[in-house]
Amino acid sequence: MSRVSLWGSLVFVSICAGCQLPAKTPAQLNLTGAAATASQAGISSVVPTDVIPTKLMSDQEITGLAVPDPVELPSPVPDPLRIVFPTPAPVPVSAWRPPLYPTPWAPTPYDHFFFSRPIAADEINWPLADYRYGGVFLPGVVHSGIDIPVRLGTPVMAAGPGRVTWAGYGLYRGVEDPTDPYGLAVSIKHDFGYQGETLYTVYGHLGRIDVLPGQHVEAGEMIGLSGETGKVTGPHLHFEVRVGRNNYFVSRNPELWLAPPQGWGILAARLSNNTGELINSQQVTIISKETGQTWYVNSYGEGTVNSDPYYRENLVIGDLPAGDYIVWLPYEGSTYNTEMRINPGMVSFITFRGKNGISTAPPSDPQVDFTPPDSTQTPTP
């Protein structure tokens, strides 16, 4: 098997492994007037279009399409849809999120929640819990994005402003290919970058595409409908963030790039053994001291996943209500735990170093090649 076809098979598995049966839809949520109007407008404006496979456009080609000059960080945009608690029946905690922080959300120089969620707030718009970024389906094959378990035909929105660089079948190899594991997919090159590097987002397994290559889209603009094209076992949206180049190998954890719900936070962790070698696929249990709600999350598997240059993490779980938690993990016959606080709108960080246990100190050894961005500096497109 050639390297290309091998990787094709691997990514096939990597992408399809996340596919699950559609999750239960959240209890009926009432939209506010403006939100309802937006939702209806988004849906009623849908006009079926043919899929237009095309070649992957190079940066030069994209530049030739009159990409605007470097732009400043996008102005904060409101979450496209706002929800309110339904009154007739209680909603399970897991099926509700507060409105998101406006993007770009960067509470520290090290954070970059530049993207809004590609699914509106009246649907499930958070990752499938048991197949996050870095999740493993086969040894050495890890998940390069997150899977959002939406129903068929759910509007999919651009996570940020940018120009469409791919729309159709064939994203993985960059050539038209009806067997592409991503199925019908869109990629967007964003108008802003991070630390001098270009940012791309990817939307896979779509059922319909409503944009054309070269088209400029705004954050929250509908680009198509969710589907189950490509190598899937059920409908969902596969979402990726890519840094520097538009390919599978430079993905980053989308949970460090998507704005969190207001008042909620993110846990990032670096799990290693005594000598600092990362521990793959280590399960960690996170328990809310207030509610007792429990989350299970694994560290990244070994394979094509990339850590953030500052956090150097190998585990992330987003959408945790701010508050006090107990983090617990078993390791080599012992159990380790610590109490920690998840701060609203922030990344809270822990380090585990084998028998040295768990530390809640912030990252203390950023790589020498990492320089916090100057807040006055204009990100490069």
Q: Which is nearer to Zn ion, 189 or 238 (CB)?
A: 238
Q: Closest distance between Zn ion and the C-beta of residue 220, in Å? A: 22
Q: Closest distance between Zn ion and the C-beta of residue 240, in Å? A: 8
The single-letter DSSP state of residue 261 is B
* Residues 184, 198: Cα–Cα separation, whole Å: 23
Binding segment (CB under 5 A) for Zn ion, from list 55-63, 88-96, 171-179, 235-243: 235-243
Task: Check the CA dihedral 191-193-197-200 and report its sign.
Answer: negative
* Cα 260 to Cα 106, 216, 301, distances in angstroms: 11, 25, 24
Site string for Zn ion, 135-164 (x = CB under 5 A): ----------x-x-----------------
* Residues 377, 260: Cα–Cα separation, whole Å: 24
Contact status: 228 vs Zn ion (CB under 5 A)? no
Name every residue whose Cβ is closer than 8 Å to that of residue 89 and which is 6 or more positions away in sequence.
27
Q: Which is nearer to Zn ion, 116 or 251 (CB)?
A: 251
Nearest alpha-carbon partner for 187 in 334, 98, 173: 173
Name every residue whose Cβ is closer than 8 Å to that of residue 1 and which is 6 or more positions away in sequence.
9
Q: Closest distance between Zn ion and the C-beta of residue 83, in Å? A: 25
Q: Closest distance between Zn ion and the C-beta of residue 15, in Å? A: 5
Binding segment (CB under 5 A) for Zn ion, from list 12-20, 28-36, 104-112, 164-172: 12-20
Contact status: 240 vs Zn ion (CB under 5 A)? no
Binding segment (CB under 5 A) for Zn ion, from list 238-246, 289-297, 317-325, 357-365: 238-246
Contact status: 123 vs Zn ion (CB under 5 A)? no
Q: Which is nearer to Zn ion, 13 or 46 (CB)?
A: 13
Q: Which is nearer to Zn ion, 111 or 228 (CB)?
A: 228
Q: Which is nearer to Zn ion, 110 or 200 (CB)?
A: 200
Q: Which is nearer to Zn ion, 17 or 81 (CB)?
A: 17
Q: Which is nearer to Zn ion, 238 or 242 (CB)?
A: 238
Give yes or no for a contact between 211 and 201, defined as CB atoms under 8 angstroms apart.
no
Query: Exposure of 102 by Cβ count < 10 A (0-12 exposed, 13-18 middle, 19+ buried)?
Result: middle
Q: Which is nearer to Zn ion, 248 or 264 (CB)?
A: 248
Per CB under 5 A, the list member of 112, 189, 238, 242 interacting with Zn ion is 238
* Residues 210, 117: Cα–Cα separation, whole Å: 18
* Residues 359, 190: Cα–Cα separation, whole Å: 36
Give yes or no for a contact between 312 and 149, defined as CB atoms under 8 angstroms apart.
no
Q: Closest distance between Zn ion and the C-beta of residue 200, in Å? A: 16
Query: Count residues contacting Zn ion (CB under 5 A)?
Result: 5
Nearest alpha-carbon partner for 296 in 184, 135, 188: 135
* Cα 6 to Cα 9, 16, 317, distances in angstroms: 5, 15, 30
Q: Closest distance between Zn ion and the C-beta of residue 16, in Å? A: 8
Q: Which is nearer to Zn ion, 11 or 222 (CB)?
A: 11
What residue is closest to Zn ion based on CB? 238
Per CB under 5 A, the list member of 8, 18, 207, 220 interacting with Zn ion is 18
Contact status: 205 vs Zn ion (CB under 5 A)? no
Q: Which is nearer to Zn ion, 18 or 99 (CB)?
A: 18
* Residues 291, 225: Cα–Cα separation, whole Å: 36
Q: Closest distance between Zn ion and the C-beta of residue 147, in Å? A: 4
Max CA pair span of the chain:
59
Cα 164 to its chain centre, rounded Å, is: 18
The single-letter DSSP state of residue 255 is G
Q: Closest distance between Zn ion and the C-beta of residue 229, in Å? A: 13
* Residues 195, 35: Cα–Cα separation, whole Å: 34
Q: Closest distance between Zn ion and the C-beta of residue 134, in Å? A: 11
Residues that bind Zn ion (CB under 5 A): 15, 18, 145, 147, 238
